[in-house]
Chain A
Amino acid sequence: MLSSMVNYQARLDRTFAALVDPTRRAILAQLERKDSVSVSELAQPFVIKLPAVMKHLDVLEDARLVTRSKSGRTVTVRLRAQPMREAMAWMRRYERFWSERLDGLAAYAERQEAEARSTGR
């Protein structure tokens, strides 16, 4: 249980760390539009050179955000959904937490308001 939580945390760290870079996010956005893309196609819109793109792909692959497969001389890149889903789920837990707290706050403040009015404040 503990180790699975630690692994989960480590995966989240990797996902968010990979997402921090604007070039990597641009790569992911490109992959989002197409099902799979060759590395050379992927590198086209960027001013940076192919080896730099490859390095970014290494990071994305370590974070399991993409997979690469080689067929002949072409390397194809695909987006993987799972780490992104985990990152989203993590954010949603916070959202639910705050949503419940704010429900409590609203109920309490409205009781206070009613009380203030009944005592003429």
Chain B
Amino acid sequence: MTSLSLVRRIRARPAIVFDAVTTGEGIAHWWGPDAGPVLLSESDPRVGGRYRVRFRMRDGTEHESSGEFLEIVRPEHVLMSWRWQGGLEDPGESRVEIRLRPIPEGTELTLTHAQLYDEVTRRSHEEGWIGSLDKLAAHFSRESIAL
């Protein structure tokens, strides 16, 4: 609930996916154009290096996400800190982790955005946290949610 995880199977080898995720040039190619153009994309993919992506959403608002590479193992694993700038919502610093696993058709990518809400996540290691919230989430998702 305070962390979300997505899995994608991609028909490309891990090294290609890895470079697309971590290099400034790679990011500039895929971050847009669905959500609007990428205005700036910088990345220094090594431990302690930083990245910054600035982009415009369909509604015309500009946003920037930036952070630091905390762990990086080509072509299988990246852990980075993540922060939104611009817009009204700044839930604080969170963590984005990407794991790449080779599969016959290419790569299985798992993205986990953790510590999404720092109020909660300061103590998120507490036992039972995920389980009980998942249950609550299941309860409420039975009702339709208007976004």
Contacts and interface: CB of A to CB of B under 8 A. Distances in A.
Contacts of A98: 4, 6, 111, 113
A2 interface: yes
Contact of A2 (B6, B88, B129): B88
A101 B10 CA distance: 13
Interface residues of A, number: 44
Contact of A25 (B10, B32, B107, B128): B128
A113 B23 CA distance: 16
A29 B134 CA distance: 11
Is the interface on chain B under 10, 10 to 19, 20 to 34, or 35 or more residues?
35 or more
A92 B50 CA distance: 27
* Residue of A5, A92, A108 with most chain B CB atoms under a 10 A cut-off: A108
B1 A105 contact: no
B78 interface: no
B128 to A, nearest CB: 6
Interface in B4-33: 4, 6, 8, 10-13, 16-17, 20-21, 26, 29-32
B30 A101 contact: yes
Contact of A104 (B6, B12, B32, B133): B32
Contacts, number: 123
A85 B17 CA distance: 35
A37 B27 CA distance: 52
A8 B33 CA distance: 29
B59 interface: no
A110 B145 CA distance: 34
Nearest to A107: B30
Contacts of B147: 89, 92-93
Interface of B: 1-2, 4, 6, 8, 10-13, 16-17, 20-21, 26, 29-32, 34-35, 88-89, 106-107, 109, 111, 113, 116-117, 119-120, 122-123, 126-129, 132-133, 135-137, 139-141, 143, 145-147
**9 A-B pairs with the lowest CB-CB distances in the bound complex, closest first:** A113-B12, A108-B30, A109-B12, A104-B30, A105-B30, A106-B10, A25-B132, A16-B120, A5-B88
